[in-house]
Amino acid sequence: MKTFKVLGGGCRNCEVTADLIAQAAKDAGIEIQLEKVTDMAEILGYGVMSTPGVVLDGKVVHAGGIPGPDRVRDWMRG
């Protein structure tokens, strides 16, 4: 199972990013674990300075804006 963390303060872009990830997983028919991280110390611990950030299985794969749908689908396949 893939584990995703959406890093951010709970802004609209963070919510949209989390929704994109959840929908892509549903469309791909795979089960994921999705966590929203709002603690700034934890976010900075990943080295993310611009949110939303996305962590996939412990590795930062995106930061600074809503990821494109193709990129999110790639995360499901990878």
Catalytic residues, by residue number, are: 11, 14
Rounded Cα gap, residues 78 and 73, in angstroms? 9
Helix, strand, coil percentages for the chain (3-state, nearest 5): 40, 25, 30
Rounded Cα gap, residues 65 and 50, in angstroms? 8
Residue of 53, 60, 61, 59 whose CA lies nearest to 17: 53
